[in-house]
Structures are given as C-alpha cells and as structure tokens.
Amino acid sequence: MSGINDFAFKIGTVNGSGSASANGLLMQAIFRMGIPVTGKNVFPSNIQGLPTWYEIRVNGEGWTARPSALDLVVALNPATYAQDVAAVRPGGYLLYDSSWPLDPTLVREGVTILGVPFGAMCIEAFQGDRERTLMRNIVYAGTLAALLKIDMEVVAGMLDEKFARKKRLLDANHQAIRMGYDFARTHFDCPLPFHLEKLDKTGGHVLMDGNTACALGAVYAGATVGAWYPITPSTSLMEAFTAFCREFRVDQATGEHRYAILQAEDELSAAGMVIGAGWAGARAFTNTSGPGISLMQEFIGLAYYTEIPSVFFDIQRCGPSTGMPTRTQQGDLLMLAYASHGDTRHPLLFPANPAECFEMSVLAFDIAERFQTPVFLASDLDIGMNDWMMPRLAWDDNWRPDRGKVLDAEALDALPKFSRYLDTDGDGIAARTLPGVGAKGAYFVRGSGHDKHAAYTEDADAYREVVDRLKRKIDGAADAVPRPVIDRQDGATIGLVTIGGCDAAVREAVSVLRGRGMAVSLMRVRGFPFHADVAAFLAEHEQLLVIEQNRDAQLRSLLAIELGLARDRMTPVLDYGGLPLTAAFVIEAASRVAVEVAA
Amino acid sequence: MSSIAKPLVTHPGARTNALGLKLRDYEGSMSTLCAGCGHDSVTAALIQAAWELAIPPEMAAKMSGIGCSAKTTAYFMKQSHGFNSVHGRMPSVTTGAAAANRSLVCIGVSGDGDSLSIGLGQLCHAIRRNVNMLYVIDNNGVYGLTKGQFSASADVGSKSKKGEANLQGPIDPVLLGLTLGATFVARSFSGDKQQLVPILKAGILHRGLALIDVISPCVTFNDHEGSTKSYAYTRTHEREAVATDFVPLRHEIVVAPSEARLFEVPMHDGSVVRLRPTDAGYDPTDRATAYAHVRACQGRGEVATGLLYVDEASSQEMCDGLTLPAAPLHDTPFELLCPGSQALDALMERYR
C-alpha cells in the first residue's frame, strides 16, 4: 500500500554510464528531508554496458528491507524493457526516454507511461558524448524530484556542496536538474499520488555502507597491517581502510605510515601475510569473499593449530565457485565455522547492518588476540556495498584494545622457563611471546603435531592434550562473540530464527504478522559458537522457522550440529536467488506454517 | 646425525663474538636429516655466519615452509623464534612479519621443492616486493622428504635413483631472480663453506631480498651417477665466477695484488663486501652480464657459483617503500593508531 513517504521505485540503466552519482544524489536528498530511505544497487559482474538497477525504498516508519512491489520504474535501458515494465505494480508508473518512439514492450494495461525526452534535451544542452551521457542521469534525477516531491532546495544545496570547487560541473548539474524538473512540472500532474513529505526521522543518523564501517572499525581497533587480494564485493573495504589510514595514520612531522597495506598476489598469500604479521605482534586482517576463503583454508588451519590471532572479513556473495559475484547470500556459514581440514572451529561474528559492522569489526580484533585464533566477520554484499541509514557512530575514548596474554621482556625474565602452550589458568588460552622480545621467549611455531612445549610430537597423549585444550579454548569464545538479539512475544509458540542480512526483512515481517494477530518470537543469531541463549530460545518454541539466504539451510545445520537439535524440528525458509530478502517472502512462508499449525 | 649427542661442556677457550656469545650459542637441536645431507653443512655455515655477524638471537626470525630444508631451521639458533609454516608459503608469512616488525632479521630457508613448484609464485612476488630477508634455497633436485620425485630444478636428462630420466626443463632460481629484479643473487655449494659463509653474511646484511641458491646434495635420493646435483657432479662442474670476501667493520681493508678488477660493496653497517671475479670481464654489478654468464655455464653443464649479482646502493627494501617507521608497528602506542571520538564525530558529517 503506497502513499506519502511509503513507496518504492527503481531505475534501470546501463552500467558505466554514470547513473550511480544520480542515484546517490536522490537517496541522499530524501535522507536529508528527514525521511528513512534505502538504496540497493543491483549491478552486473561487468565494467561497462550491461544492465544495472538501483532500487530506492522510502518508508516513514523506517522499514528498509527490499520492497516486493515497485510503484515507479525508470526504464532507460532498452535491453531490459520487458522485465522493467513487468516489475511495476498494477496502477504504477513507468518513466522512459521519449527522445525515441515508444517501444511497444513498455505498454502494459494498468501502468501509466510518462515520457521525458532526456536524450534529446541533453544533446541540445550539452557538448560531447561523455557530458551528455553523464548529465542525462542528472536530468532524470530532476524529473524524479518533481514527480516525488523531493525538496529542490535540498538538492541544490547538495550539488553546491559536491561541486564547490568545480564551477563548470556545478553549473551543468544545476542546469540538468532544472531541465528534468521543469519538464515534469510542465507536462505531468506533479507530484504522483505517492510522494515525499518532510519528516524528522533521520536526525542523529548518517548513510554508510557496511564495508566502510568495517574498515573504520579496523582503524579504531588499532589494526596496522592489511593484506588483501581484490574481489567483489569486498574490495571497497580495503579501499576505505587505505583512505582512512592516509587521513589518520600518517605522522604529520615525519610522513611515516603507521600502517602497512600489502596487496598480495593471491588470497593464499594475503592470508599468509596476515598470519605472519599477527605472529609478529601486529593487529592484521584481510578482506575477501567466499572464493578467497576457499583458497585460504590451509592457512586458516595453520593459524588455528598454531594459535595466531588473525581477522578475516568475508563479504559473502553467491556461490558456489565463481557464482554470481554481484549478488548476495549468506552461503559461507558452514565453511567459516569449520574452515580447514581436521578438527577446527572458529569464532564468527554476523553483523546485520553497517552499525554492527563497525562494532563487530572492533570486537573481532579483540577476540582474535584474546583467544589467539582466526576470527571471521561474515557480512554480505547487500550490507557491504549498499548505503544504509545508521545512527551516528560514537567512540568511548577510554576503550583500550584487549591484546590477550602476551609476555613482555619483564614477564619473561620472571619465568624460569617459557613454554608456549601451557594452560595455566584453565581457560584454555596459553600465553604467547613475540619475536624480537627476549631470547627466553623463543619457540618454534609449527603446523605439525606439537606438544604443550611447542616441540614436535608424534605422541598420542601429547597431541591430544593440545587439541583438547583448543576445543575448550574455542568453546569459551561463545561468551565473547555477540549475543543473539531476541524479541520474545509472550505465549508465542512459533519462533523465527535468522541471521545477518535477513534482519530488516524478518523484523518487518514480524511486525506485519503480529499486526495480523499472529504470535511470533524472533531471534537473530549474531555469533558463533552459539551463546547459551540460542539453545534456550529454540527449546522454548514448538515451531521453529530458520530464515536464511542459502540453498542448503546452513544455519539450521549449524544449529543441529552444535546443539544436538534434530533438523526436522526446524523448518527452513530459504531465499537464495541472490537478491536481498523481502518481508513478503518471510510473511508468506510464516503464514503457511501458521496455517499448518492451526490445521 | 641424531646418533651423535652434542657435548654438554663448552671449551673454556671458545671464542666469543661482539655480543660475548660463543659459536655454540648459535646452534640448534640435533639434526634428524640423513647422515651426509648437504643441508647440515648449510646449517653449519649459517651458524658460522650468524655468530660472526653477532646477530642478537632474539632478533632473528627463522622462516621455513615444508620439506627437509624446512626442518633445518630447528638446527640452528635455538634462542631465536622459528616459524615452520606451510608448503611453499614461507615468503608471505615472512612478508607479513617483516611489515609488522621491520627490525627482525628474517632468515628464510627453503628447498627447490618448496620454492620452485608450489612456492614459485610466492618466491617471485617476495622478490618483487624486495622483502628484507635472507632467502636460502637448499637445492638438491629432488623432493627428499617424500622420497625422491624430481623437483623443478632437475636438469633435462638427469636420472632419478630408479634410472628414469627427467624430460622437463629446469627452473634456475638464479636466472629467475635476475629476471625478476632481485638485488642480490648468489649460488653456492654446501660442500664449500669457505665460499658460502661470506655470501651468507653479505646476504643477511643486504637491504632487500638476498637470494642464495645452494646446491645441497641429497645423499639418499640424488647422489648417484646420472644426477647433476650430486657431490661428485657439483665438485667437477662447479665454476666460481666471483670470489667473495667479507670485511667487517673493525678490520683494515688490505688490497690484494692486482688481478681482475675488485668490486667493493659497502653494507649499511659499515662493513664491506669484496668481490673478485675470476674472469676479467665479469661485472657482478651488471645484471645482463650475470645473466649471460649463468646461461653460458648452463649450456656447458657447468654450475656458476659466487655472489653473482648485487645492487646494494639503490636497493629499496619493502618497508622503505611502505614508508614504515623504524620502530616495529606493533610497538606503536594505541593513541597514535586510534583517531578518537572527536575525529569520529567530525567524520560522521561526511556521511549525512
């Protein structure tokens, strides 16, 4: 049901044509009008010339999951006309470039067609292919401003900010936006039935993507070494980290860099660099996606067994294999939990939005050093690469990093002898030493069988003593990783369980279901190993639905493996085509289950 | 040889180095390699070199991958940290460690299996980055630990123990290093300690990656007739292209009577490496000459040895390129790493 401050539209263009700028402008303008807004980029795995869409949803109540119905589609790519017009809801609108004759594909009963000669206007007003192509995007932005009642003063202000030092571009942009706006005002009944009215819901908020937030967290956590290999959708994380380091980590007096960014020749090398740096005492990380983690598995096992702190950001995308690099999924859960051969198990953190990306990024470094082990933050493409509305980040200046048990020269001197893998206080965590600090602390790191003195061993008991301690050590991480977020409804027998990027859609679905009189509780898992609260929630509900974005119900499998719960106690709700989850999908699945329960 | 126990008592007259440490202090555990293994001689040379240079034991980082060569890091400098990582991946671990703490003296020991097959990529990129480390390849032409398969350095026509001939062309780490821009490229022989020790010392001091290919025969799997990496073959086909002397800080430089041109390479600590080519025309500071010479030797079945190429003056090691401070990154006070609450607040304005 669309209306004031409650509608969704998408723009279909060709990638590499400069539409990202215009789309960002629209979204930011709406945000500055005080109205909650989301923008989702649906782009191809390609540099230039293939279809790309930008979906914007406006919702005064703050529901930001991907919409399932579109009120308006801007169809600027003839190659996708058919699917673009099919995506408009009955009674909706389609905007097209009327410089060329109307393509019959665009005609559909119940859909109002609006034509604006974007191309022709740009050919007349601007010079050169490049400028005309770029400005066309700004012209449609102007048209949308008129149709949706975007505040032109806000838009003008933003253009002034952005092009403050580029007068020629500033003038061109102002001209273009005016053109699109004026044409619409002259030729159409503006605004459309669904449009914007100023609100005050974005105060104290900003727009940021998850990858930038993760990078910022790494900076604030004191990470100094970043090693990486570019891969969609994680690349922007290291790019953001690099930019922040240039700003905050360069010594003003000497020009020295308090950071090292190593672009490795492949992911295996990146993982090796992170581990070497972690061994030598630096907080180090790498950012990658599923295929990269696959490559890194051998090193992950080494870090696990030799107990070296390391942080891995997996910005998940569709697998398997190369998969769909520009589509989202939460499909690496099983791989991350048990990465590498043999008996391994790793702490995982699952943010659902950029605010959690920042907070959990910081936490990941503490957990890695405290537990001396590889730690994984599992984000996804939707969280990582799209801009989300997020409360302004704040920092406690009293916060200090937890570097874990590291013996300095003084502490070493006090010991009669140092042995690397002794569990002196029962928490499974042994004290480590750093190379370069005291010969007494020297020991051999080896991935081969070792005893508690770090000596090579082939002895059954000595081997078991170490691996059993590792198990206890990681079990202890259940209380250190983020606890689940639980929203309990009294008397509910149905419990929804979800993770990561599904969050916004599931919460919206829960709100709708409760509005219809259905009693449901909700738990979002945020960490692994599972906190005791997870098992408790599962035990409390007769009917469990596990909602996730992968084919094989990996979260459900993890819950079954770890908690001993039978798989058929949990009904999977799986959406794994690669696009962000919608509330409608969840509502439909949950309603079906409710009907079955009632029957 | 694990059958021989090390003496418990050190001779009272044993010499000490500038740190007051004895040669024994730079030894490690008893080797478990086969009796007569070339790698044990390389280890002995490393011990000698490290002792003479007075490397502080806690500053050394002994890095290795997997293989017989990789085991040797346990057999020297027992007071130093060691990292026996995974097959072929020692360079990346060393790169990360060097970035985190540039004052570590990284000593990497690898083999022809570890570095020329699975590790070929990482070796090449470590050279490109010019990671500040000693990179020793114990080269015996076979996979020893897995019992005798040909390695990538095996010459065409050389025969395995079972009589099978190798058909694939060899990868020569020296030619590889020269091609990729390595600033220190040498080859030696485990059986020639006199040649090897000065080269190791120069390599440790070198600012950048010092690549040293050491022919180190495998007595068990590749020391037979038909092998081009046996003791016998190497002794008869070795051709030293340039002799290396190491003149440490305190010693006066004595110029030998005139022979072929003498090249003097000052090291960053003030010591000097002196190179005397065997052939008058050989120039160890000219990459093309070195390359041509090694190729020519290869054509004749000869093994060119010596510090074949060095560029000390303009070699920029990785950490200089990263503009890292002299102190280890891990030592940086947190206050200098964390921008703080005010900066975060100001930053938020950019995302409105």
Rounded Cα distance, A440 and A339, in Å:
33
Using an 8 Å CB-CB cutoff, list chain A residues near B336.
Answer: 249, 251, 258
Whether A588 has a pLDDT exceeding 50, the answer reads: yes
Using an 8 Å CB-CB cutoff, list chain A residues near B82.
Answer: 442-446
For position B257, what pLDDT does the model report?
57
Rounded Cα distance, B304 and B309, in Å:
12
pLDDT in tens, A529-574: 999 999 999 999 999 999 999 999 999 999 999 999 998 999 999 9
For position A46, what pLDDT does the model report?
87
Q: Is A277 in contact with B100 (Cβ distance < 8 A)?
A: yes
Using an 8 Å CB-CB cutoff, list chain B residues near A403.
Answer: none
Query: Greater confidence, B252 or B166?
Result: B166
Nearest residue of A to residue B87, measured between CA atoms: A298
Whether B258 has a pLDDT exceeding 90, the answer reads: no
Percent of chain A with pLDDT over 90: 93
Q: Is A281 in contact with B330 (Cβ distance < 8 A)?
A: yes
Average pLDDT over residues B216-238: 93
Comparing C-alpha atoms, which of A28, A46, A45 is closest to residue A37?
Answer: A28
Whether A307 has a pLDDT exceeding 80, the answer reads: yes
Residue B251 confidence class, pLDDT cut points 50, 70, 90: low
A249 Cα to chain B: minimum distance (Å)? 6
- Strand, coil or helix: B115: helix
B69 Cα to chain A: minimum distance (Å)? 14
How many CA atoms are closer than 13 Å to the CA of A426, on its beta-carbon side? 0
Query: How would you class B268 by CB atoms within 10 Å of its CB: exposed for 0-12, middle for 13-18, buried for 19 or more?
Result: exposed
Q: Which of A337-341, A593-597, B139-143 has the lowest mean pLDDT?
A: A593-597
- Whether residue A412 contacts residue A418, with contact meaning beta carbons closer than 8 Å, is answered with yes
Comparing C-alpha atoms, which of B100, B47, B36 is closest to residue B76?
Answer: B47
A25 touches B at CB < 8 Å:
no
Comparing C-alpha atoms, which of A371, A345, A372, A348 is closest to residue A360?
Answer: A348
For position B1, what pLDDT does the model report?
46
Supply the mean pLDDT for chain A: 96
The backbone torsions φ and ψ at residue A517, rounded to the nearest 5 degrees and listed phi first, read: 95, 5
Helix/strand/coil percentages in chain B, nearest 5: 35, 20, 45
Q: Is A443 in contact with B82 (Cβ distance < 8 A)?
A: yes
Tokens of A475: 């079990």
Rama region for B147: left / alpha / beta (φ>0; ψ in -120 to 50; rest): left
For position B168, what pLDDT does the model report?
94
Percent of chain B with pLDDT over 70: 94
Q: Best of A249, A397, A444 to disrupt the B interface by mutation (most B CBs within 10 Å)? A: A444
For position A529, what pLDDT does the model report?
98
For position B255, what pLDDT does the model report?
58
Rounded Cα distance, B39 and A500, in Å:
52
Rounded Cα distance, A88 and A194, in Å:
14
Percent of chain A with pLDDT over 70: 99
> What is the SS3 string spanning A126-193?
CCCHHHHHHHHHHHHHHHHHHHHCCCHHHHHHHHHHHCCCCHHHHHHHHHHHHHHHHHHHHHCCCCCC
Residue B248 confidence class, pLDDT cut points 50, 70, 90: confident
pTM for the model: 0.96
Count H helices, E strands: chain A? 19, 21
Comparing C-alpha atoms, which of B345, B340, B315, B343 is closest to residue B132?
Answer: B315
Using an 8 Å CB-CB cutoff, list chain A residues near B131.
Answer: none
Whether A318 has a pLDDT exceeding 60, the answer reads: yes
DSSP state of A514: H
Angle between helices B287-299 and B173-180 (to 10 degrees): 160
B207 Cα to chain A: minimum distance (Å)? 18
pLDDT in tens, B83-127: 999 999 999 999 999 999 999 999 999 999 999 999 999 999 999
pLDDT in tens, A474-508: 999 999 999 999 999 999 999 999 999 999 999 99
A569 touches B at CB < 8 Å:
no
Place of tokens 């990465």: A339
Average pLDDT over residues B240-251: 83
Percent of chain B with pLDDT over 90: 81
For position B6, what pLDDT does the model report?
66
Whether B254 has a pLDDT exceeding 80, the answer reads: no
Average pLDDT over residues A444-456: 96
Query: Greater confidence, A37 or B270?
Result: A37
Whether A144 has a pLDDT exceeding 50, the answer reads: yes
For position A15, what pLDDT does the model report?
87
Using an 8 Å CB-CB cutoff, list chain A residues near B331.
Answer: 281
- Secondary element (H or E) of residue A467: helix A460-475
CA B269 and chain centroid, separation: 19
pLDDT in tens, A509-534: 999 999 999 999 999 999 999 999 99
Contact residues for B245 (Cβ-Cβ < 8 A; gap 6+): B198, B273, B274, B275, B276
Query: How would you class A129 by CB atoms within 10 Å of its CB: exposed for 0-12, middle for 13-18, buried for 19 or more?
Result: exposed
